[in-house]
Structure 1
Amino acid sequence: MKQILIATHGKMASGIRYTAELIVGKMAEITTIDAYVTPEDNVEKKFEEYFAQHENDRIFVFTDIMGGSVNQKLLGYSQKENVTLITGTNLPVLMQVMMADDDVTEEEIQEFIDDAREELQVVDLGGGKKSTAGKHDAESIAQGEKITAQSAAPDVEKSAPKKAPAPQSYDNSTAKITALRVDDRLIHGQVAMTWTKQLAVQGIVVANDEAANDNTQKMALKMAVPGGIKSLIKPVDEAIRILNNPKASRMRILVLTRTVKDALKIRQSVGEIGFLNVGNTGRFDGIDVSEKLVLTPTIMLTKAEQQALKELVALDPKACMQQVPNDEQKLVKDVLDKLN
């Protein structure tokens, strides 16, 4: 069985575990040792007890500093065949190991580390020499385009509103979408690290009018897209047009909206959605929570959003509520029925 031990100076161990599980869920057996928090802290004894308890398990040990005393005390244990010691720990590597199979190899872990090194960057939206934000090709669904910090920076001419295309009818749409998720943060850790893998997506389409017309938001969202996955950030109507392109139906695409209302509009305009998920919505719209129906701590609905959700469920009774893949999946229909 795979075991993860995080051992650091101070409370970094428990802190990074909390953050990792917040993003990807509880996906592994994790033990944390916050070393030297108190003067009488006997770190050596804690290590001895831990390894004695897990001598038959596959153990991945994460420490903070290569030359630190915590890592030094664990070097002897790293000689065991069932132990892999990883130092200079950061969040992306930890989450990758958490999500990996029990038989993940050290070669695969080295690939996780190499990928994480690329994510350590100075972010410069001005497009100067410091910027490395264009390291991944953020290709469009229909055609490739490289998004750099400079090309995504605000530009009066480029940012001018485009003339809206003529209204189209999608009543008989045959478009197929792999998944549609309502998430008020759009592309973030939970989406990038868990849902893209769970759904094996090849592309992400963000359908949101505000984000599509804000170059800074677009830049930030594209930086969160995992390497090898194509992405588009478009107004809702334009996203619907793209999703009805036959080429889109041949790809595994995850569509993200901030609101249930936008998700409903998309659902009404495509023929089939494999997985419809309400994850997070209504937390950052500026409307007081007292005016909303709180279904979960991350799903808060105005009256208009409540009505949209009822219509969405009528179209797709299998729509579910789930933050990360490891969470319990609840049918929205069942939750709404209990409220009536």
Structure 2
Amino acid sequence: MVNMEIRLMRIDSRLLHGQVATNWAKVLKVDRILVVSDQVARDNIRKTLIRQASPPGIKVHVIPLMKMLRIYFDPRFNSFKALILVENPRDAQILVQNGTHVDLVNIGALSFNSSRKMVTDTISVDQTDVDAFTWLHDQGIKLDIRKVSGDTSKDLWKVLTEKGLVEQPSRKVD
């Protein structure tokens, strides 16, 4: 079965911003950027700001999680070459659990607050994030830390292990 081509799934609490718009979209040669967020889909101001950040020639859609799953499996959208942006690891997990296929998830930035632990200069996590990353890792999905495509890839799983937030288990094979 053929589905839409997801060229990259990226977790970034900032969603669509200059680096994503100019670098990733160009390098990946996408024709769609799908911002997948239940919260943003209900927020007209944020939707407007995100659409204004879209690079020329690339359509940007802000959609809730369940709509993303519907269009992923809808043959009318199989021609999409998409960059998927989600705000948090849990949303990425939900998409993958429900059949969205990716081999790699890129992590840009996860904002800090007092309930979160900094693991890199741009990524902070709480237990919900760690649980979602653990699930993704156990599915064999590579967790790639890079701000832009030209940066050296760092393995988030290795970082989480070094910080003592996860143990280094062997990957589950289902």
TM range (shorter): 0.7 to 0.9
Partners of 2:73 and 2:150 in 1: CA distance: 31
- Show CA shifts across 1:181-234 (max 9, x none): 001111110100101011111101101111111111111100111111112101
Q: What are the superposed Cα offsets for residues 275-310 of structure 1, whole Å, 9 maximum, x if unpaired?
A: 420111133xxx41xx32321121111111111111
The question of whether the paired residues in 1 share the 8 Å contact of 2:36 and 2:63 is answered with yes
Rg larger for? 1
| Equivalent position amino acid for 1:196 in 2 | A
Trace 1:131-142 onto structure 2 (pairs within 5 A).
none
Is 1:293 aligned to 2:117, yes or no? Answer: yes
| Letter of the structure 1 residue corresponding to residue 9 of structure 2 | L
> For the Cα contact (< 8 Å) 1:178–1:274, is it kept in 2?
no
Query: Which one-letter code corresponds to 1:235 in the other structure?
Result: P
Among 215, 220, 243, the residue aligned to 2:44: 215
Q: Deviations over 1:56-82 (max 9, x none)?
A: xxxxxxxxxxxxxxxxxxxxxxxxxxx
1:120 paired residue number = none
SS of 2:150 mapped into structure 1: coil
TM-score by length of 2: 0.85
Q: Structure 1 vs Structure 2: percent identity of aligned residues?
A: 29
Number of paired residues? Answer: 163
- What is the rounded CA distance, in whole Å, between the counterparts of 1:212 and 1:322 in structure 2? 26
RMSD value over aligned CA atoms? 1.8
Match of 2:50, SS state, is helix
1:266 match: secondary structure: helix
Q: Counterparts of 1:326 and 1:227 in 2: how far apart (Å)?
A: 21
Distance 2:93 2:130 in 1: 11
Instruction: Identify which of 145, 151, 154 aligns with 1:330.
Output: 154
Residues 17-36 of structure 1: pairs in structure 2 closer than 5 A: none
Q: Report Cα offsets for 1:157-177 as digits up to 9, x if no partner.
A: xxxxxxxxxxxxxxxx86342
Counterpart residue number, 2:143: 319
Deviations along 1:77-135, whole A, 9 cap, x unmatched? Answer: xxxxxxxxxxxxxxxxxxxxxxxxxxxxxxxxxxxxxxxxxxxxxxxxxxxxxxxxxxx
C-alpha separation between the residues in 2 aligned to 1:329 and 1:260? 18
Corresponding position: 1:310 with 2:137: no
Equivalent position to 1:185, from 14, 20, 24: 14
How far off its partner does 1:274 sit? 5.1
1:278 lines up with 2:102 in the alignment: no
Unaligned runs of 5+ in 2: 168-174
